[in-house]
Structure 1
Amino acid sequence: MSKQLLIIRHASAAWPEDVKSDFERPLKKKGIKEAEDLGVFLKHNHIVPDLIACSPSKRTKQTFNLVNQELKIPVSSIVFEETIYEASYKTLFKIVNNLNNSHHLVALVGHNNGISDLLNYLSNGDEINLPPAGIALLEFPFHDWKMVSNGLAEIKLLHYPED
């Protein structure tokens, strides 16, 4: 079975005056709606990951939790990975290469620039810049995550909140 990677950028975030760190930034009202709509879109299109690797920042957790209201992915299949926060594409790439082969559709929930850079690296993309709540579904023509490398992904789906 081929491997698929669902790359998700967190929804639109606010920076309220009382929030002192980037890590603690919550979603805006617009971001809440984007994340809810994304959950509906994924469920409608039968895109339900068997593993979620998510940045532990407030806005990524909120995004995933709202998406998961539709998908109902069990807690045992969710990993909050500290290295995803502010990660470069090289760090994200290492995470992907080290995924367990028992997982066939994995979602990576994170931040720009790393998320978009990973998308472009894996797909030889045309400098795609995922907007908040944007997703890309990549497919790899093999069965081992260690084989994932530069330019080997086929983009099966790009979806932006305004779609």
Structure 2
Amino acid sequence: MKTLYIVRHAKSSWEYEGIKDIDRPLKKRGINDAYLISGVLQKKIACPDVFIASCANRALHTAMIFSYTFNYPLANIKISKSLYNFSDGYLIKTVKALDDGFDSAIIFSHDHGISDFVNKFGDKLLNHVSTCGVIGIKFETNHWKNIKSGQTFLTEFPKNYK
């Protein structure tokens, strides 16, 4: 069995002029939400075997907060340039390329790819994954490359704890 957690990056800031999209930082609300949801998650699940984040500042910062909460070494976070793409194609390729030695993974990425992915591979229809939302899907396979339809067993959103 393989277990995947997908996290949409926390709320980012649009207030800085001239900054590239990839460099946008988290807002204070986003930082607070990342600590909140990572704390909720840490009480419900074991630490995932591998953390993978989009190279965008907002996704990487979200991953760093989760890694702190889970006591996962920052140096072990894998950074993926291909996850900074807003389609599920790169997310699917990333997941299917995971090392089979990892039974669980947590991926920090972006809106469109996440919503498409969880609706394609999970069994619970989600219209929209909000910022800092976490979706957990279990797959009855021993090989990441063979994932097909899975069971959506976890949905956590900051609004449920405010």
Taking structure 2 as the reference length, what is the TM-score of the superposition? 0.93
Maintained 8 Å contact 2:67/2:74: no
Structure 2 Cα separation of the partners of residues 80 and 121 of structure 1: 24
2:148 maps to 1:157: no
1:26-65 equivalences under 5 Å are: 26-65=25-64
Gaps of 5+ in 1: none
Q: List structure 1 segments (4+ residues) > 4 angstroms apart after TM superposition.
A: none
Counterpart for residue 112 of structure 1: 111
Counterpart for residue 121 of structure 1: 120
2:143 maps to 1:144: yes
Maintained 8 Å contact 1:52/1:77: yes
SS of the residue 2:153 aligns to: strand
Return the letter of the residue paired with 2:58: R
Maintained 8 Å contact 1:42/1:48: no
Percent identity of the aligned residues?
26
Maintained 8 Å contact 1:8/1:109: yes
Return the letter of the residue paired with 2:155: L
Relative distance call for 1:64 and 1:19 in structure 2 (3 A) is farther
* C-alpha displacement of 1:127: 4.0
* C-alpha displacement of 1:41: 1.0
Maintained 8 Å contact 2:68/2:74: no
Taking structure 1 as the reference length, what is the TM-score of the superposition? 0.92
Structure 2 Cα separation of the partners of residues 93 and 86 of structure 1: 12
Return the letter of the residue paired with 1:104: D
Counterpart for residue 96 of structure 1: 95
Relative distance call for 1:68 and 1:124 in structure 2 (3 A) is same
* C-alpha displacement of 1:78: 1.5
* C-alpha displacement of 1:18: 3.4
2:132 maps to 1:133: yes
Gaps of 5+ in 2: none
Structure 1 Cα separation of the partners of residues 67 and 41 of structure 2: 10
Return the letter of the residue paired with 1:159: E
